[in-house]
A and B are shown apart, each in its own frame.
Chain A
Amino acid sequence: LAKTTQPISMDSYEGQEVNITCSHNNIATNDYITWYQQFPSQGPRFIIQGYKTKVTNEVASLFIPADRKSSTLSLPRVSLSDTAVYYCLVGDHTGGFKTIFGAGTRLFVKA
């Protein structure tokens, strides 16, 4: 099971781009990288998933270097409502079975 390491917390201001990096040195060949967002009193919500290079959707971008030992979630022009905990997970493409959630990164966006 690949273990991930993320910063415990980050602060930003509205309108800025936020990049959260996750380290996963023991990622396996078949593993995908998945990011989730969690607001207080809610379950985590899927943001984005990738295997290599770059993936972009309407919410975020995910950058994965060639060695896949790390990944960076990029949130463009954050707003106050992006204040949440962000989790990086590594596992099979279903994101399921024994995939481990770490403590996540607490992002606080200020006005």
Chain B
Amino acid sequence: NAGVTQTPKFQVLKTGQSMTLQCAQDMNHNSMYWYRQDPGMGLRLIYYSASEGTTDKGEVPNGYNVSRLNKREFSLRLESAAPSQTSVYFCASSEGVGYTFGSGTRLTVV
């Protein structure tokens, strides 16, 4: 029972580079989310997907795109990374009571 799996765990990008953060869940949850957490701060919602085939913006969507590939997978893409996107990114899923979070991707943009 892996729960929510995120890859990679760590990544360093140069300004302007692009990359995709991967997330997969094996709990058959309908809803999936991407959050970012800056040092000493709470989590801020970037995008969410209420169900397969749908996505919607959260609090801080600028500079990101998402794809709900199927029910299991929800990816987050940075098209042109900026230092302000240095953060820890968490993927989560939910069905019923509460979220289940992945272990995070620590991204540094230099």
Identify the A interface with B (CB < 8 A). 34, 36, 41-46, 49, 87, 93-104
Contact = CB atoms under 8 A, between A and B. Distances in A.
A88 to B, nearest CB: 11
- Interface size bracket, B side: 20 to 34
A57 to B, nearest CB: 11
A102 B96 CA distance: 21
Given A87-B42, A96-B31, A101-B43, A43 B98 contact: no
Nearest to A93: B97
Contacts, number: 67
Contacts of A102: 42
Nearest to A104: B42
Given A41-B104, A44-B99, A103-B42, 7 more contacts: A44-B90, A46-B97, A94-B94, A95-B94, A95-B99, A97-B31, A100-B59
Contacts of B40: 103
